[in-house]
Amino acid sequence: MNDFGPAIGQPVDRVDGRLKVTGGARYSAEVPVANVAHGVLITSAIAAGSIQAMHTDFAAALPGVIAVITPFNAMALSHPPAGNGAGSRNPVTNLSLLQDTDIYYANQPIGIVVAETLEQAQHAARIVRVDYAAARPKIDWKNEKRHAYAPARIMGGPPDYRRGDFDRGSSSAPVHVSQTYSTPYENHNPMEPHATIALWDGSSLTLYDSTQGIFGVKQTLAHVFGLPPDNVRVVCHFLGGGFGCKGSVWSHVPLAAMAAKQVERPVKLVVSRSQMFGPVGFRPRTEQVISLAASTGGALAAVKHDVTSETSVFGEFVEPSAAATRMLYATDNCATSQRLVRLNTGTPTFMRAPGESSGTYAIEAAMDELAYSLGMDPLKLRLANYAEKDPESGKPWSEKSLLMCYLQGAERFGWSRRSVAPRSMHTSDGLLLGWGLATATYPARRSPSSALARVLADGTGYAAAGSQDLGTGTYTIMTQIAADAIGLPVSVVRFDLGDTRLPATPGSGGSQTAASTGSAVFEAGMAVRAKAIAAAVADKQSPLFGLSPDAVGVSAGRMFAKTNPLLAETYGNLLTRQGLPSLEALVTSRPDQEAAQDYSAHSFGAVFVEVSVDPDFGRVQVKRVVGAYDIGRALNAKTATSQLMGGIVWGIGMALLEETVYDPHYARVVNADLAEYLVPVNADVPPIEVVFIEDPDFNFDPLGARGIGEIGITGVVAAIANAVYHATGKRVRDLPITLDKVV
């Protein structure tokens, strides 16, 4: 089952590449729908209080305006939002669906204008006047932090974790580091903003939605409108970036469907760039206190990681930043905690490696500080605390090659040439030079998933699964997997995704698509192969008649006797002779529960970074990055490299640029656009080298692959922060690392 064909792992070009570069790939807002009207959200100007009145007469009378929908005339929903109910199981708790007049955050959707053209809808939305009863928003982090509370659960477990005795371990150790690290509110800004087209046919609803989870949208919309799930179809063939923000259903999706229902026409709603700030989630602010205790030889005697993060006043989201700390290094004594602070913001959400990105920054910066306190090389400190098994669960790893990541990454980077003392290295033009490293990690996840595979009489293959392609190459790797499993060249296999009429799959989040849906596609393809072989060995007219199925191999659509390859026939010949248009198999693949009980599955990496810092002006520039990764098997060498490079680039932004800024009085975002919310551009991105440690993880799934969408950002931020310290001797513990903090 683990003998792969010629496609898996190869740097196959994207099968959807031509469509994308020629404009043939239609994103959700580009799907042609007859008689479509345009919707534009009206959002709140205050962050707390209520709406007293909305003056819509002038807007409604404008040319082309079809409707102005507000809390005062919106249709009643079958299952409205739960309101201020943190922890509610109601899937629409965090949504604003015009069922009341309460305001919880600035930029909250409070209405929708529908018009014949986008420009008419935008103009009408701008002139709607709103009377508010404003309250003082809770936005002062320092003040509200006094009311921090423990969530009931975090990742299915309690908010506090204990292993061993931290106090005893700490008191017996001679070397200590205890520091506070903070990360800011950060915003999603994918190239494609959120977009939905909704159209009704009687009581049936079709949505073209930019989403990471078509089946989650289907379930939520069926719930909101009281429909049988089979009455809702969701389509998403192409996604212009998701990264977590499109993993949940946000207010604009049911609002588009509501508007379409009320005006009795299809409605297209595209969220504006400024409306990406608040209504569709963000990475929450964190404050993390790390305490490390170690022997003089560097062995960790005790580790403590206390996290405080923000959530909204009407919903609850936990950024689990201490999760990596519990499993990353070998220590008998570990304690972590998680607390939440309620603010008048939108509800936070998943953002590439939620928890691990912010958490690895804190623990890996603290490990660097410990290394300096010990007078020890930061790489040697990590090697001294290498965990041969999962310290949290006590289970062996399903596969772990982090040691090789450290060694190969260090060799490629030239780490042995590093001068130890801060401010001791310089560039040829007199800038300060710094080298830093950090460990990367992300849990391996796999969920049940279904897929269909088919071989046709014309010798081609077909596979399908609901799923989504976030732009990371899912179309391509699934085609490769299907081709090898069925036994056909990639060039004659087609793979479909992005429609709830296809076999059900999990959402594309948590780096689980390759392992979950990929395993289903693989098993479906193998099932079709087995059906074809069984048909051939039972067919008296087949050259393979009478052979054991195990004695038959397949290559390039040709079934052959392993002991005599001249005894062979193609899939096409078999199906044509038997008068069959195709053979197919529908498979639901599930994780091996026994293996899940026996092993701990994580991916790992080591990130090495060089920065230069202007000693006069504090300008930091990343000069080069080497990242070595243990991800099991890379299913496509080209797309895998691109994903990891993309994560590293985002880590540069998280370390040096990204921060959402609030007005302290009105709780409105003041940099809600790409002019002032800074993200890396080409000039910020240095040469990046990605190294794979190829060691397939067959304990985890039949492909030996673990997801890679998120591990690329982990560790990068800390490696940059550590390099900045090495260059300057100044430790910045409050992200982003801007020049005013360095000078």
Residues with active-site annotation = 710
Beta strands in 403-479 (DSSP E): 432-443, 449-456, 461-464
Q: How far is CA 690 from CA 485, 554, 706, in A?
A: 28, 34, 16
Q: Confirm if 580 and 457 have CB atoms less than 8 A apart.
A: yes
Burial of 126 (0-12, 13-18, 19+ CB in 10 A): exposed
CA distances from 407 to 410, 414, 566, 603 (A): 5, 10, 48, 16
Residues 266 and 163 sit within 8 Å (Cβ to Cβ): no
Nearest alpha carbon to residue 587 among 689, 409, 466, 449: 449
Element (H, E) at 335: strand 334-343
Q: Could you give the CA distance from residue 449 to residue 377 in angstroms, rounded to a whole number? A: 45
Cβ-contact 375, 364 below 8 angstroms: no
Nearest-Å Rg of the Cα atoms of the chain is 27
Please give the Cα distance from 518 to 530 (Å, whole number): 18
Q: Which of 539, 544, 540, 541 is nearest to 554 (CA)?
A: 544
Tell me how far CA of residue 12 lies from CA of 9, 408, 478, in angstroms. Answer: 8, 25, 11
**Gap between the Cα atoms of 400 and 402, Å rounded:** 6
d(CA 39, CA 271): 9
Q: Which residues pair with 620 in a beta bridge?
A: 613
Residue 3: Cβ within 10 Å count: 6
Q: Are the CB atoms for 132 and 46 separated by under 8 Å?
A: yes
d(CA 668, CA 521): 46
Phi, psi (deg, nearest 5) at residue 738: -100, 165
Q: Which pair of structure tokens corresponds to residue 462?
A: 């077909």
Question: Strand 493-496 vs strand 461-464: parallel, antiparallel, or unpaired?
Answer: parallel
Q: Which of 23, 25, 28, 24 is nearest to 269 (CA)?
A: 28
Q: Rounded to whole angstroms, how far apart are CA atoms 473 and 492? A: 18
Query: Residue 7 has which token pair?
Result: 């496609």
DSSP string, 86-122: TT---TTTT---SSS-EE-STT-EEEEEEESSHHHHH
State the DSSP string of 176-187.
EEEEEEEE--EE
Q: Which residues contact 478 (CB under 8 A, 6 or more apart)?
A: 463, 465, 467, 495, 497, 517, 518, 521
Give the Cα separation of 454 and 531 in Å (integer): 10
Q: Among candidates 281, 259, 314, 332, which has minimal Cα distance to 41?
A: 259
Whole-angstrom Cα distance, residue 151 to residue 281? Answer: 19
Task: For residue 3, give both structure tokens.
Answer: 């003998």
Q: Give the span between the Cα atoms of 8 and 19, in whole angstroms.
A: 22
Q: E strands, 107-229, where?
A: 109-115, 129-134, 161-163, 175-183, 186-187, 195-201, 204-209
Residues counted in the chain: 743
Phi, psi of 595 (to 5 degrees): -65, -40
